[in-house]
Amino acid sequence: MATTTAIPTQAVYHNLIDGVWAPSGSGGLFENRNPANADDLIGRFQASTAEDVERAIDAARRAFEHWRLVPAPRRAEILFRAAQLIAERKEALARDMTREMGKVIEETRGDVQEAIDMTYFIAGEGRRQYGQTVPSELRDKWAMSVRQPLGVCSIVTPWNFPMAIPSWKIGPALICGNTVVFKPATLTPLSAWHFVRILEEAGVPPGVVNFVTGTGAEVGDPMIASDDVSVVSFTGSTAVGRAVSMKAAPSFKKVHLEMGGKNVVMIMDDAHLDLAVEGCVWGGFGTTGQRCTAASRVVVHEKVHDAFLDRFVARAKALRVGDGLDPKTDMGPSVSDGQRKTVMEYVDIGVKEGARLVCGGHALTGGLHRKGFFHEPTIFADVHPSMRVAQEEIFGPVVSVIRCRSLDEAITIANGVSYGLSASIYTQDVNRAFTAMRDVYTGIFYVNAPTIGAEVHLPFGGTKDTGNGHREAGTAALDVFSEWKSVYIDFSGRLQRAQIDTASQ
């Protein structure tokens, strides 16, 4: 029988620094509450300070000197054990995640499964961190390349995928031989705490992974600015990501940013409409729209616009909104009261801009919803592509439906935002599908599927204001957490000068 992770007494959770679970030097705590029921106090976590961060970075710096020399296949064995432990505890981890984050239990099971998949996948790279071996231009000379670790990695993750996203970052960092200081979102620290406890139980040595909770100002900023940090990996809003880049710039550390999205589903006149409706419901209202890949724009060919809109609205109205632990619930709450207020503000903006509210548009505050942060699934029609609801990331259950007359117009609308994360097309025409695949400028593209559903063995990330060029997941993740070293071995016994002595060879 699988063991369970011990819960601290009185639900006070500590930081992990240099292998020791201990309170912050500040003595302060912050609360973690259930967004479906604000009366439900999940636990209290450390309100850490820059001094805690400094100790964690120092521990990671010292641990790096040993960890980088552990053979990568041995590091992989620890990650394999971690993946097994997560799999054994999947249901309990998912239920805790729903309780602290709000999304429905089926989705949190998927979040945990993604952490399992990513940890297994990246553990395999312990034997596959391939370099290149190439012919030298000179006689009796060997030329090859190898990966080398960078040092201490600062990992800052968001609240919407509180176990999957940490696995995308921490697993690759560890398999490459780096050490980690990890700050989770203050809205979802419990899932991150579980993940770190499992890594510790699997055998990660003291100091290799350090866990510090607290605000961005008190914890995140010193993690980013420290001269002893070699890599910063951040997922969050574009505005905060820009600030992260500026704070990290003076020390020239490597920065990986995964930020916002304003993703589009394009529905052509030959699309399978029922399939497209189901995809837009899942893409727009899954995770209450709180995904960077959420399908918040739907561009529909004028020939099928009205038929699609009628079906889409009917399906959205039928969604059951409630506590994510109830198996009958289709959509959970916003993660916080602040996030719900943002959604409400954008609904008001859409109405004032002249978009037609055809579904939802209101907070749910009575009856079973009275203690949580619930909002109706919301659809705007007659949306112009330049409206703010069609341009700005809302991160909530709000979808804008836009009419188009052709594939070319749909592609122009798709590209007409500052983001470039994910897009999709519904069509039965292979020529249209390939044209859209080529011409829509995003990091991820789907055909006859919604804009969500990325798999861990391919790169994840976007273009333009969505990211800064690096990718998560797949083998591309190794590039964030390692540097290339080219190695030349001359066994000729004499001085050979590349690019100069080649004529005599």
| Domain assignment present for 452 | no
Are 287 and 251 found together in one domain?
no
Catalytic residue (choose from 100, 125, 218, 258) = 258
Mean pLDDT, residues 224-249 taken together: 96
Are 97 and 223 found together in one domain?
yes
* pLDDT tens by residue, 472-504: 999 999 999 999 999 999 999 999 998 887 665
Which amino acid is located at 203 in the chain?
G
Are 147 and 111 found together in one domain?
yes
Are 418 and 443 found together in one domain?
yes
Residues 93-121: b if buried by 16+ CB within 10 A, e if exposed: bbebbbbbbbbbbebbbbbbbbbbbbbbb
Interacting residues of 65 by C-beta distance below 8 A, sequence separation 6+: none
Residues 339 and 117: their CA atoms lie apart, in Å, by: 30
**58: three-class secondary structure by DSSP:** helix
Percent of the chain with pLDDT over 90: 96
Mean pLDDT, residues 212-230 taken together: 97
Please report, to the nearest 10 degrees, the dihedral formed by the alpha carbons of residues 143, 146, 152, 156 taken in order: 120
| Domain assignment present for 319 | yes
Q: Is the pLDDT of residue 7 over 80?
A: no
Are 55 and 197 found together in one domain?
yes
Q: Is the pLDDT of residue 2 over 90?
A: no
Tokens 């071996």 belong to residue:
133
The pair of structure tokens assigned to 131 is 């370099």
Residues 378-413: b if buried by 16+ CB within 10 A, e if exposed: bbbbebebebebbbbbbbbbbbbbbbbeebebbbeb
The pair of structure tokens assigned to 488 is 């030349």
The pair of structure tokens assigned to 418 is 């500052």
**Max CA-CA distance within the chain?**
88
| Domain assignment present for 5 | no
Residues 29 and 14: their CA atoms lie apart, in Å, by: 10
Are 421 and 377 found together in one domain?
yes
* pLDDT tens by residue, 290-320: 999 999 999 999 999 999 999 999 999 999 9
Answer yes or no: 292 catalytic.
Answer: yes
Residues 375 and 131: their CA atoms lie apart, in Å, by: 50
| Domain assignment present for 313 | yes
Output the pLDDT for position 21. Answer: 98
- For the chain, how big is the Rg over CA atoms in Å? 24
* pLDDT tens by residue, 330-388: 999 999 999 999 999 999 999 999 999 999 999 999 999 999 999 999 999 999 999 99
| Domain assignment present for 500 | no
Q: Are 281 and 274 in contact (CB under 8 A)?
A: no
For residue 176, count other CB atoms closer than 10 A to its CB: 27
Q: pLDDT tier at 438 (50, 70, 90 boundaries)?
A: very high
Residues 199 and 207: their CA atoms lie apart, in Å, by: 12
Mean pLDDT score of the chain = 96
Are 156 and 276 found together in one domain?
no
Are 17 and 135 found together in one domain?
yes
DSSP 389-424: HHHS---SSEEEEEEESSHHHHHHHHHSSSEESEEE
Q: What is the pTM of this model?
A: 0.94
3-state secondary structure 421-474: CEEEEECCCHHHHHHHHHHCCCCEEEECCCCCCCCCCCCECCEECCECCCCECC
Residues 219 and 442: their CA atoms lie apart, in Å, by: 32
Output the pLDDT for position 1. Answer: 36
Answer yes or no: 258 catalytic.
Answer: yes
Question: What CATH number corresponds to the domain at position 379?
Answer: 3.40.309.10
Are 327 and 230 found together in one domain?
no
> Which of 444, 329, 418, 426 has its CA nearest to residue 377?
329
Are 276 and 389 found together in one domain?
yes
Output the pLDDT for position 449. Answer: 97
Question: What CATH number corresponds to the domain at position 48?
Answer: 3.40.605.10
| Domain assignment present for 269 | yes
Q: Are 150 and 178 in contact (CB under 8 A)?
A: yes
Residues 114 and 458: their CA atoms lie apart, in Å, by: 13
Which amino acid is located at 41 in the chain?
L
Catalytic residue (choose from 292, 359, 404, 472) = 292
Angle at the Cα of 138 from the Cα atoms of 137 and 140, rounded to 5 degrees = 130
Residues 82 and 194: their CA atoms lie apart, in Å, by: 11
State the residue range of the domain holding 77. 13-259+467-485
| Domain assignment present for 392 | yes
Domains in the chain, number: 2
Question: How do beta strands 12-13 and 37-46 pair?
Answer: parallel
| Domain assignment present for 491 | no
Residues 121 and 162: their CA atoms lie apart, in Å, by: 19
- Across-strand partners of 487? 144
Residues 235 and 238: their CA atoms lie apart, in Å, by: 9
Output the pLDDT for position 10. Answer: 56
Residues 325 and 323: their CA atoms lie apart, in Å, by: 5
Are 353 and 477 found together in one domain?
no
Handedness of CA 7, 10, 11, 16 (dihedral sign): negative
**277: three-class secondary structure by DSSP:** helix
Are 75 and 190 found together in one domain?
yes
Residues 277 and 480: their CA atoms lie apart, in Å, by: 37
